[in-house]
Amino acid sequence: MNKQELLKDYRKQEDKLCLSQVLDKIEISSKREKIENTDFLDMYQVSLVENFLRKIQFKNFILYGGYEDAERKMLIIFPEKFDNKMLEKNYDKIFKVVRITLPEEEKGKYTHRNYLGGIVKLGLKREKVGDILVGQESADIITISEFADVLQTQLQSLTRFENAKLEIEKIQNVRKLEIKVEEVSIIVPSLRLDNIVSDLARTSRSKASEIITQERVFVNGQNETKNSKQIKCGDIITIRGKGRFIIKEFTGTTRSGRTVVLVEKYV
């Protein structure tokens, strides 16, 4: 395996480093005939890694975050002898859930930002933690299995969680929360991505173009950097720092020829 040759088209040092680590995992998995996994990848890294593995025609992998539709995912590489059932049996060795159950007086008080803020405040490595699923009474924090004890102990030391109950659960017991959405209508001059992002992020078109150039926009999980990308019904658009949106329906046009778009926003 010639790493330099495989990575020659990637200009960013952080992209090269990420993909170099992926190639190392592939090599180790092949030599030892065992499952290998990365830390959690953010949406940009997931898109980068997935496209790279398709490019080199490597097939023995999945990108999985502990439940269907997870945003942060691990790359899991497996030997050819593994089938889906064998792979699923290993999930509990790879993932764990740290569940925080709030006391009665604090239920409904904390948002995703409060839980993530606690992790950041403690100086814990973000790449060791996956999605944080927040409910009124509790939150399930998906983490790398060997990091679960550290995360549980450290979070318990925070004042905000000193009266909460913290437990480590198997990944099979993760609480998949009902996705809540609200409908909003936007009016755009065209279905170009920069126009859509401008309205969804409530910013100017030039600023929307910057957000896209900064690789903060994803369409159906794939990083998209073309302002002119045409958006269609059913597309899921994620803008890092702004939220996730589903393009539900084109409901009509205005007298000036603008398109009225019905959007569902994840809340």
- Give the domain CATH number at 83: 3.30.1370.160
As a whole number of angstroms, the distance between CA 246 and CA 4 comes to: 39
- Which of 35, 63, 89 is the last residue before a domain boundary? 89
Q: What is the pLDDT of residue 2?
A: 83
Counting every residue, how long is the chain?
267
Q: Order of strands across the sheet with 36-41?
A: 36-41, 73-77, 61-64
Selection from 36, 52, 48 nearest residue 87 by Cα: 36
Total domains, the chain: 3
Shared domain for 82 and 66, answered yes or no, is yes
Shared domain for 17 and 76, answered yes or no, is yes
5 assigned to some structural domain: no
Shared domain for 246 and 204, answered yes or no, is yes
Mean pLDDT of the chain: 94
Shared domain for 221 and 149, answered yes or no, is no
95-101 and 73-77 as β-strands: parallel, antiparallel, unpaired?
unpaired
Instruction: Give the CATH number, domain containing residue 237.
Output: 3.10.290.10
114 assigned to some structural domain: yes
Shared domain for 129 and 153, answered yes or no, is yes
Selection from 249, 234, 92 nearest residue 174 by Cα: 92
4 assigned to some structural domain: no
Q: Other C-beta atoms within 10 Å of 39: how many?
A: 17
249 assigned to some structural domain: yes
Determine contact, residues 103/122, Cβ cutoff 8 Å: no
**Letter for the amino acid at 61?**
F
Selection from 245, 140, 136 nearest residue 196 by Cα: 245
Q: What is the pLDDT of residue 1?
A: 66
Q: What are the angstrom distances between the C-alpha of 54 and each of 15, 49, 141, 178, 259?
A: 16, 9, 30, 32, 36
Shared domain for 129 and 157, answered yes or no, is yes
Which of left, alpha, beta for 220 (phi over 0: left; psi -120 to 50: alpha)?
A: left
Query: How does pLDDT run across 162-212, given as a tens digit for each residue?
Result: 999 999 999 999 998 777 889 999 999 999 999 999 999 999 999 999 999
pTM of structure: 0.86
Shared domain for 18 and 66, answered yes or no, is yes
Shared domain for 169 and 115, answered yes or no, is yes
Shared domain for 74 and 104, answered yes or no, is no
Query: How does pLDDT run across 209-245, given as a tens digit for each residue?
Result: 999 999 999 999 899 999 999 999 999 999 998 999 9
Residue 133 has pLDDT above 80, yes or no: yes
Domain extent at residue 62: 10-89
Average pLDDT over residues 67-87: 90
Token output for 161: 């969680």
232 assigned to some structural domain: yes
Average pLDDT over residues 105-118: 92
3 assigned to some structural domain: no
As a whole number of angstroms, the distance between CA 107 and CA 125 comes to: 27
55 assigned to some structural domain: yes
Determine contact, residues 115/164, Cβ cutoff 8 Å: no
Buried b (16+ CB within 10 A) or exposed e, 14-37: ebbebbeebbebbeebeeeeebbb
- Which of 173, 200, 215 is the last residue before a domain boundary? 173
Query: How does pLDDT run across 1-18, given as a tens digit for each residue?
Result: 688 899 999 999 999 999
N- to C-terminal Cα separation, the chain: 45
- Which of 117, 151, 173 is the last residue before a domain boundary? 173
Shared domain for 133 and 166, answered yes or no, is yes
Shared domain for 156 and 200, answered yes or no, is no
Shared domain for 156 and 195, answered yes or no, is no
